[in-house]
Structure 1
Amino acid sequence: MLLSLPEDNALPRGAALHPIRVPGSKSVTNRALLLAALAPGISRFRGGLEAEDTRWMRQALVDLGLAFQEQDQVWIIEGGHRPQASRPLWLGASGTTLRFLLPWLALQAEGPVRLEGDPRLFERPLGPLLEPLAALGAAWEPDAKGAWLRPAPEPPIALDLTVDARLSSQFLTGLALTAAALPGGGTLRWTEVASPSYLILTTQWLHRFGCQALLEPGHWRLPGGALAARELDLPGDWSGAAAFLAAAAATGRALRLEPLDPADAQGDRAMVAILEAAGCRARWIGPQSLELEGPLQRGLDADLTDCPDLGPVLAALAALAPAPSELRGLHTLPLKECDRLDASAELVRWLGGRAEAIGDHTLRVAPGPSPGPRAAFDPRNDHRMAFAAAVGGLRCGGELQDPHCVAKTFPDFWAVWRGMLGC
């Protein structure tokens, strides 16, 4: 696929008059789907993300015996039942689906559950989540194509666990969602956690389903038996918005994006503050419409501990910035759908810049001259690397292999991108 761009390397004037609609949030949608499955009664959602990761979650819930319907773009889920698998669950490459479902299935499923998916899914870390589940009586039996999960003989009344969350906050989220559905709730403890903003996001959605979870540093208290069905509008995706915000920063034009919630707990909302610190201007036009205008006035200087998924897009933007940049807090990137730290450094070099990875946590980027013709960039079957390549292509052109990998979270990305470019 050719990464096309306007002849003057800029977005069309007047782009701010035509708001870009971002899709629903994967992080929120998969949390809301599982909470609806756990909460007794019928929940209804509007604005859920239609993409591969959420489709695997929805299908898994159906295969576990939950009633799911869609009427006039409203999702209807009847929850509150113990899961029982009717066939193997195919989870694709969705880490949230696997890590969110595992505790529920390990502690509540009626009978063994077969889990399958892309090979990379089972290469990503699971040990710190499986260890406390094994202590409660569950058994994990991996093989070449996936794994069998044999649930604990008796569901616990409550959880009281210390969890190693250094590699992923999703371990804690999965346990917290399950604990909220137990009669006695639970207490979770940790000393260090990756991407802590996602715990805040989980807490926000537990509250919306009736569980008044208390999140403190290193400690989560989860009242049990309080989950209730809800009717909710799900928010737009700050992660999906990131490439478009970067496009405005790279080209100096204004873009308007919606629907976005300025009070949302999604960690990638930090994109706005990062770009403002580098000289961009942002303002809210009404309650859900954000306008951002570039160009960057300086290099990027950001700690992404709370929002590591911004790393690839910001690395591409750093290659186009007027001065060197430093991105920190990237220690979870090698454990994502691909090694995003290595892939981001490769992308910077593909865009003509210089990239220096310092350990597994920092990327220093210096812009360079336009690279000219070169081989197509390989996003390594990772949607966020494809988004990042699109940002770099605004100034450097080039071609992209496997553009369809964006379907994981943003199936219409290229159509929306071309619309932004006026193509």
Structure 2
Amino acid sequence: MPVADIPGSKSITARALFLAAAADGVTTLVRPLRSDDTEGFAEGLARLGYRVGRTPDSWQVDGRPQGPAVAEADVYCRDGATTARFLPTLAAAGHGTYRFDASEQMRRRPLLPLTRALRELGVDLRHEERDGHHPLTVRAAGVAGGEVTLDAGQSSQYLTALLLLGPLTEKGLRIHVTDLVSVPYIEITLAMMRAFGVEVTREGHDFVVPPGGYRATTYAIEPDASTSSYFFAAAALSGGEVTVPGLGEGALQGDLGFVDVLRRMGAEVEIGADRTTVRGTGELRGLTVNMRDISDTMPTLAAIAPFASGPVRIEDVANTRVKECDRLEACAENLRRLGVRVETGPDWIEIHPGATPTGAEIKTYGDHRIVMSFAVTGLRVPGISFDDPGCVRKTFPGFHEEFGALRARL
């Protein structure tokens, strides 16, 4: 039975690094993801004066509840959205002047709802070029807290950043949320805050975060569910079987819900206490599915959709247009390159079976998820190549080796 060795979750590793830096004491993170994004986050913490010690399978972080250890810093966030959104928020709780910049790709991604909320809380935050985008400077003098309104309809990361900030404020926070996407990611944040000693309460559309700070702990990072989706999809598509250990009933990540989509399409799925197995049955049915809450796995489904027995329609995924690239359009364009009939709307994509896909070069837009998704298509379509195969280093530097090994076993 092929077992896929999936690296740690990117979202959990980023949150854990923030929590560890903010906590009182030394935190050990077990099996964190080591990729371009998370290395960038750890490097950003080091620039802010936090001590991050690394061994091959764990990281130790010396927490500083009072904020960064330096009065001035220049932080480069690379391509990482969590880094670019969480670190300025963490720095705001300290005292000093901190400048943040990011890659061209990350500079294009929106930030405004978060920076508006931080300004509403009295943070002196200035965008240097375009409002709502990197680069930006935070002149930090601590955050008093209080009430704030937030629109998290573009990204749940805005809400996560404020939730994580709450315990570092003097009075705590009451966050009124007007719109919210990717709800399962908020559940991850709340569960992890609980592990570091903070209980958030929900009152309707309000999240109430108490002051008082975090406690250091030892925290194990579960395998990345979004990354697992490519291996599960490979099993469903090839009629083989794949097990991912460490990801089971208690998993924090909502993206494990992708296996329910595969089940609806005809695959056999078994979710155990600490592992998940997907078995292909030789059948892939078409379906209409709302993926608002698991939108990072939209490209995975799009990549296997041409092999379904009927049309596959994915709805309510407008937020995929403001990820590393416009993923909805990128999927449509690449499927058309393979000869597949595709229709799109503002927040949906419909993929039609019929034509046998033919090999082509996939245009990746430097987006790791486009490469990993169409690698799955490549199990059935010879001659697929990528204009930038190396961009997988963002979340899974060893992806091509691990997927190649799985392909040989399937």
TM-score category (smaller protein): over 0.9
| Equivalent pair of 1:349/1:355 in contact (CA under 8 Å) | yes
Q: Which amino acid letter does the alignment assign opposite residue 268 of structure 1?
A: D
Consecutive unaligned residues of structure 2, counting only runs of 5 or more, are: none
Q: Give the aligned partner of residue 337 of structure 2.
A: 350
Q: Distance in 2 between matches of 1:190 and 1:372?
A: 46
Give the corresponding residue for 1:76: 60
Indicate conservation of the 8 Å contact 2:84/2:102, yes or no. Answer: no
Partner SS, residue 346 of structure 1: helix
Q: Which residue of 1 aligns with 2:137?
A: 149
1:369–1:358: structure 2 CA closer, same or farther, 3 Å change rule?
same
Name the structure, 1 or 2, with higher relative contact order (CA <8 Å, separation 6+).
Answer: 1
| Of 170-179 and 253-262, the range deviating more from structure 2 | 253-262
| Rounded Cα–Cα distance in structure 2 between residues aligned with 1:139 and 1:231 | 33
Deviation of the 1:297 alpha carbon: 3.5
Please give the residue correspondences for 1:128-143 in structure 2 after superposition, counting only pairs within 5 Å.
128-135=113-120, 136-143=122-129
Q: Which runs of structure 2 are paired with 1:277-316 in the superposition (5 Å)?
A: 277-284=264-271, 287-294=273-280, 295-316=282-303
CA deviation vs aligned residue, 1:345-380 (integer Å, no higher than 9, x gap): 112223332111122x11111123223354x11111
- 1:11 aligned residue: none
Counterpart in 2 of 1:36?
A: 20
CA deviations 1:306-358 (Å, max 9, x no partner) are 11101111111112212111111211011000010100111222333211112
Q: Alignment partner of 1:268: what SS? A: helix
- Residue number in structure 2 paired with 1:114: 99
Deviation of residue 184 (structure 1)? 2.5
The residue that corresponds to 1:238 in the other structure is 225
* Structure 1 residues 55 and 393: CA distance shift in structure 2, 3 A: same
Describe the SS at the equivalent of 1:343: helix
Q: 1:301 to 1:256 in 2, by over 3 A?
A: same
SS of corresponding position for 2:59: strand
Cα displacement (A) at 1:151: 2.2
Identify which of 11, 22, 35 aligns with 1:51: 35
CA distance in 2, matches of 1:207, 1:146: 31
Q: TM-score of the superposition, structure 2-length normalised?
A: 0.93
Distance 1:158 1:377 in 2: 47
In structure 1, C-alpha distance between the alignment counterparts of 2:341 and 2:308, rounded to whole Å: 12
Aligned with 2:95: secondary structure?
Answer: coil
Displacement, 1:85? 5.9
Check if 1:209 corresponds to 2:196: yes
1:309 alignment partner AA = D
Contact 1:38-1:227 within 8 A present in 2 as well: yes
Distance 1:420 1:38, change over 3 A: same
For structure 1, which segment, 273-282 or 29-38, has the greater mean C-alpha deviation from structure 2 after superposition? 273-282
- Letter paired with 2:13: T
Summarize deviations over 1:373-403 as a string: whole Å, max 9, x none. Answer: 54x1111100000011101111112221110
1-structure distance, mates of 2:397, 2:93: 33
Q: CA deviation at 1:221?
A: 1.1
Moved more, 196-205 or 138-147: 138-147
Note the C-alpha offset of 1:199: 0.9
SS of 1:395 mapped into structure 2: coil
Q: Is the 8 A contact 2:164 2:193 kept in 1?
A: yes
Deviation at 1:249, TM superposition (A): 1.0
Structure-2 separation of matches of 1:226 and 1:162: 22
CA contact (8 A) 1:159 1:179 kept: no
Determine whether 1:272 maps to 2:256: no
* Bigger fraction of residues in strand: 2
Cα distance in 1 for partners of 2:327, 2:387 equals 16
Give the Cα separation in 2 of the matches to 1:176 and 1:228: 16
Distance 1:381 1:216 in 2: 40
Q: Distance in 2 between matches of 1:247 and 1:264?
A: 21
Alignment length, in residue pairs? 402
Secondary structure (helix, strand or coil) at the match of 1:302 reads strand
The TM-score with structure 1 as length reference comes to 0.91
d(CA) in 2 for partners of 1:422 and 1:402?
Answer: 23
- CA shift, 1:195, in A, is 1.2
- Amino acid in the other structure paired with 2:17: L
Q: 1:216 to 1:309 in 2, by over 3 A?
A: farther
Separation (CA, whole Å) in 1 of partners of 2:364 and 2:304: 16
Q: Quick one: distance in 2 between partners of 1:74 and 1:160?
A: 37
2:80 aligns to what?
Answer: 94
What residue in structure 2 maps to residue 416 of structure 1? 402
Is the 2:306–2:357 contact (alpha carbons within 8 Å) kept by the matching residues of 1?
A: no
Q: Following the alignment from structure 2 to structure 1, what is the Cα–Cα distance between the partners of residues 233 and 219?
A: 30
